[in-house]
C-alpha cells in the first residue's frame, strides 16, 4: 500500500500552479506570524473574494459569502450552499497560533547594564532551540484610552532584531551534562533588548533608554505592558529550502500550512452544493481553550447567526446542521525523518512528497484523547480524493507509545458530525524553523477544494 511520490505525477501546468501557490504561501507566512496578523490577512483576502462581515449582513441566500471574526484572533468563512443548511455543511478547520515566547505582563528589567524582556513560552517547545537566534517582536499594546497599537520589530531589513543568549561552549562543561529539557530553562528565556545607558539617569539607565525609545516610537509607557499581547518569534522570511527548491522553511508552518491552503481552497470554490465553511482558530497549541479557541461557542453561535439571516433558525435546526456536517480537522503531521528513523513506524507514517495526510485517529497511550473517524467516512473521503486525483497518504504520529499529540478534531466531533484529521507532513515540527514539501502543500489545497465541492 505504498503511496507514490506526487512530484512524479505533475505536468508543466501543475508545476506552475504548485509554484504560484507556494509563492503566496511564503508571503502569508512572512507577513502572518501571529494569530492576529493571520486573521487580518484572511479578512483582506476574503473581502477581495467578495466576502462580507456577517455583522453587517441582514439576510443570506445560496451563493452569499460572509466571514465572522472573534477578537481578531479567530475567523470563520461561510459560503452558503444550494442545499438547506439543516442537511449539514462541509467544514475545513485549521489553527493559526504557533509556539512562541509571549512577553510577561511586567517584562522589562535591567541587569548589569543590559535590558531584558521576560517571557513565558506558549505551546510545546525545545527551549534550547530558541537561543542564539535573531528574534522579532509582533503584537499589540492596548492603551487605557482604548487605542490599540500594532507593533512589529525585527522583520524589515532596516529593523534591529532581539534575541536570547547562550553560554559559550568554552564554559559550558556543566551545562552540556544536563538533560536537554533543562539545558535552557523557562526562566532563562529572557530577551536581550538593549545595552546603551541613557545619559544623566540615576538608576536603570539602559532600561530607561529602552522606555524612551518605546515612548518616542509608539507613545507607550511601561505600564502599557500590562495590557499588551507581544509575541517573540523567529525573525525573517519564509524561504525556499533545498537546492532543488522543493521545500519551504519558515517559522509557524504548524499550522499555517493547513490554514493557508484551507483559506485558498475556500476562496476558490464557487457555488458549492453544501455550505462551505473555513474555520481558522486560535489557542490550539495550549488546548483549544478560551474565547478564540475551538472549545469556545463562537463557531456554534455564528452557525445560529447564519441560519437566522436565512430565516431558518431554530435551536433544533442548528443542532441538525452541526450533526449532519463533515469536517477536515487539518493540522500538521510528523514527516518521516531518516535521521531519527527509530521514532517512526514506516508503514504508518507520513512522507515528504506523498501528498496530504489523513489520520483516522491521533492520541497517545492507546489512542487516548483521539477523535477516531468512522470507517464509513474515511471510505467516502477515499472516493472523493481518488475522483479528484488528489495524492494522499495515511499516517499516525510516530511509533506507538513514543509520544503523541492532539488536535481540534474531537471538539466539533462532539456535535455528532464526521471529523477526520488531515494535513501536511512537517520536518522539525515546533522548532523555530519548520520544513514542508511544496508538493504536499499543493496536494493539501487540492484536497480541500475537492472536499468542499464533493463531500
Ligand atoms: Mn498543530
Ligand atoms: Mn503544534
How many angstroms separate the alpha carbon of residue 319 from the centre of ligand 1? Answer: 27
How many angstroms separate the alpha carbon of residue 196 from the centre of ligand 2? Answer: 38
Decide if 225 contacts 107 (C-beta within 8 A): yes
| Closest-approaching ligand to the CA atom of 285 | 2
How many angstroms separate the alpha carbon of residue 429 from the centre of ligand 1? Answer: 9
Query: Stretch 310-325: mean pLDDT, rounded?
Result: 98
Query: Stretch 58-76: mean pLDDT, rounded?
Result: 98
Confidence of residue 279 (pLDDT cuts 50, 70, 90): very high
| Closest-approaching ligand to the CA atom of 94 | 1
pTM assigned to the model: 0.97
How many angstroms separate the alpha carbon of residue 296 from the centre of ligand 2? Answer: 19
Query: What pLDDT is recorded for position 147?
Result: 97
Q: What is the distance of C-alpha 53 from the center of its chain?
A: 22
Query: Stretch 1-22: mean pLDDT, rounded?
Result: 96
How many angstroms separate the alpha carbon of residue 224 from the centre of ligand 2? Answer: 30
Residue 125 has pLDDT above 90, yes or no: yes
Query: Stretch 138-146: mean pLDDT, rounded?
Result: 98
Name the one residue in this structure whose C-alpha cell is 517547545: 125
Query: Stretch 66-73: mean pLDDT, rounded?
Result: 98
**Residues with Cβ within 5 Å of ion ligand 1?**
254-255, 331
Query: Stretch 188-193: mean pLDDT, rounded?
Result: 98
Q: How far is CA 33 from CA 75, 97, 133, 141, 195, in A?
A: 16, 8, 16, 16, 27
In which region does residue 102 sit, left (phi positive, over 0), alpha (psi from -120 to 50) or beta (all else)? beta
Query: What pLDDT is recorded for position 1?
Result: 78
Q: What does the mean pLDDT of the chain come to?
A: 97
Residue 369 has pLDDT above 90, yes or no: no
Decide if 281 contacts 77 (C-beta within 8 A): no
How many angstroms separate the alpha carbon of residue 99 from the centre of ligand 1? Answer: 9
Query: 366 CB contacts (<8 Å, ≥6 apart)?
Result: none
The Cα–Cα gap between 423 and 429 comes to 13
Confidence of residue 404 (pLDDT cuts 50, 70, 90): confident
Where helices occur in 166-248 by DSSP H, the ranges are: 173-176, 180-183, 205-218
Query: 154 CB contacts (<8 Å, ≥6 apart)?
Result: 134, 135, 136, 137, 160, 161, 162, 235
How many angstroms separate the alpha carbon of residue 282 from the centre of ligand 2? Answer: 11
| Closest-approaching ligand to the CA atom of 282 | 1
Query: Stretch 159-166: mean pLDDT, rounded?
Result: 98
How many angstroms separate the alpha carbon of residue 300 from the centre of ligand 2? Answer: 24
| Closest-approaching ligand to the CA atom of 95 | 1
217-245: per-residue pLDDT in tens?
999 999 999 999 999 999 999 999 999 99
How many angstroms separate the alpha carbon of residue 422 from the centre of ligand 2? Answer: 14
Burial of residue 319, with CB atoms counted within 10 A of its CB: 0-12 exposed, 13-18 middle, 19 or more buried = middle
Query: 114 CB contacts (<8 Å, ≥6 apart)?
Result: 192, 194, 195, 206
How many angstroms separate the alpha carbon of residue 41 from the centre of ligand 2? Answer: 21
248-272: per-residue pLDDT in tens?
999 999 999 999 999 999 999 999 9
How many angstroms separate the alpha carbon of residue 435 from the centre of ligand 2? Answer: 13
Query: Stretch 112-117: mean pLDDT, rounded?
Result: 98
Query: Stretch 5-10: mean pLDDT, rounded?
Result: 98
| Closest-approaching ligand to the CA atom of 257 | 1
Where helices occur in 310-423 by DSSP H, the ranges are: 315-323, 375-387, 410-413
Query: What pLDDT is recorded for position 93?
Result: 98
Residue 408 has pLDDT above 90, yes or no: yes
Query: Stretch 390-398: mean pLDDT, rounded?
Result: 95
Decide if 274 contacts 327 (C-beta within 8 A): no
How many angstroms separate the alpha carbon of residue 9 from the centre of ligand 1? Answer: 28
How many angstroms separate the alpha carbon of residue 60 from the centre of ligand 2? Answer: 36
How many angstroms separate the alpha carbon of residue 172 from the centre of ligand 2? Answer: 31
- The DSSP string of 428-443 is STTSSSEEEEHHHHHH
Confidence of residue 406 (pLDDT cuts 50, 70, 90): confident
How many angstroms separate the alpha carbon of residue 430 from the centre of ligand 2? Answer: 6
How many angstroms separate the alpha carbon of residue 154 from the centre of ligand 2? Answer: 24
How many angstroms separate the alpha carbon of residue 30 from the centre of ligand 2? Answer: 18
How many angstroms separate the alpha carbon of residue 385 from the centre of ligand 1? Answer: 23
The Cα–Cα gap between 156 and 173 comes to 37
Query: What pLDDT is recorded for position 41?
Result: 98
Query: What pLDDT is recorded for position 363?
Result: 82
How many angstroms separate the alpha carbon of residue 341 from the centre of ligand 1? Answer: 22
How many angstroms separate the alpha carbon of residue 338 from the centre of ligand 1? Answer: 22
**Residues with Cβ within 5 Å of ion ligand 2?**
254
Query: What pLDDT is recorded for position 322?
Result: 98
How many angstroms separate the alpha carbon of residue 49 from the centre of ligand 1? Answer: 27
Amino acid at each position: 500500500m505504498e503511496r507514490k511520490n506526487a512530484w512524479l505525477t505533475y505536468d508543466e501546468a501543475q508545476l506552475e500552479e504548485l509554484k504560484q501557490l507556494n509563492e503566496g504561501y511564503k508571503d502569508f507566512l512572512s507577513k502572518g506570524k501571529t494569530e492576529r496578523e493571520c486573521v487580518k490577512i484572511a479578512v483582506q483576502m476574503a473581502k477581495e473574494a467578495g466576502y462580507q462581515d456577517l455583522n453587517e449582513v441582514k439576510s443570506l441566500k445560496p451563493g452569499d459569502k460572509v466571514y465572522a471574526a472573534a477578537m481578531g484572533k479567530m475567523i470563520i468563512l461561510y459560503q452558503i450552499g444550494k442545499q438547506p443548511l439543516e442537511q449539514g455543511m462541509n467544514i475545513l478547520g485549521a489553527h493559526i497560533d504557533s509556539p512562541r515566547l509571549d512577553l510577561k505582563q511586567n517584562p522589562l528589567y535591567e541587569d548589569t547594564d543590559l535590558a531584558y524582556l521576560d517571557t513565558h513560552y506558549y505551546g510545546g517547545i525545545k527551549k534550547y532551540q530558541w537561543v542564539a537566534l535573531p528574534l522579532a517582536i509582533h503584537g499589540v499594546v492596548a492603551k487605557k484610552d482604548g487605542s490599540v497599537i500594532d507593533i512589529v520589530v525585527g522583520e524589515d531589513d532596516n529593523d534591529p532584531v532581539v534575541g536570547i543568549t547562550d553560554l559559550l561552549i568554552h564554559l559550558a562543561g556543566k551545562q552540556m551534562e544536563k538533560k536537554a529539557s533543562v539545558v535552557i530553562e523557562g526562566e532563562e528565556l529572557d530577551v536581550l533588548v538593549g545595552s546603551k545607558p541613557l545619559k544623566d539617569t540615576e538608576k536603570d539607565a539602559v532600561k530607561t533608554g529602552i522606555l524612551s525609545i518605546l515612548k518616542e516610537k509608539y507613545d507607550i509607557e511601561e505600564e502599557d505592558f500590562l495590557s499588551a499581547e507581544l509575541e517573540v518569534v523567529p525573525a525573517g522570511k519564509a524561504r525556499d529550502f533545498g537546492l532543488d527548491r522543493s521545500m519551504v522553511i519558515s517559522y509557524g508552518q504548524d499550522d499555517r500550512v493547513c490554514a493557508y491552503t484551507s483559506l485558498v481552497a475556500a476562496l476558490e470554490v464557487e457555488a458549492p452544493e453544501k455550505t462551505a465553511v473555513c474555520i481558522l482558530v486560535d489557542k490550539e497549541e495550549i488546548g483549544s481553550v478560551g474565547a478564540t479557541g475551538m472549545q469556545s461557542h463562537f463557531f456554534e453561535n455564528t452557525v445560529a447567526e447564519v441560519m437566522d439571516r436565512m430565516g431558518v433558525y431554530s435551536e433544533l435546526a442548528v443542532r441538525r446542521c452541526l450533526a449532519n456536517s463533515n469536517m477536515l480537522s487539518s493540522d500538521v503531521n510528523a514527516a518521516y525523518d531518516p535521521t531519527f528513523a527509530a521514532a517512526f513506524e514506516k508503514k504508518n507514517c507520513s512522507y515528504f512528497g506523498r501528498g496530504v495526510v489523513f489520520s483516522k485517529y491521533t492520541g497517545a497511550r492507546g489512542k487516548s484523547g483521539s477523535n477516531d473517524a468512522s470507517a464509513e467516512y474515511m471510505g467516502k473521503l477515499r472516493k472523493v480524493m481518488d475522483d479528484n486525483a488528489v495524492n494522499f497518504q495515511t499516517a499516525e504520529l510516530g511509533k506507538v507509545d513514543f509520544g503523541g499529540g492532539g488536535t481540534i478534531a474531537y471538539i466539533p466531533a462532539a456535535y455528532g458530525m464526521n471529523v477526520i484529521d488531515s494535513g501536511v507532513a512537517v520536518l522539525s515540527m515546533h522548532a523555530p524553523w519548520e520544513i514542508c514539501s511544496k508538493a504536499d502543500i499543493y496536494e493539501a489545497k487540492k484536497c480541500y477544494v475537492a472536499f468542499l465541492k464533493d463531500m
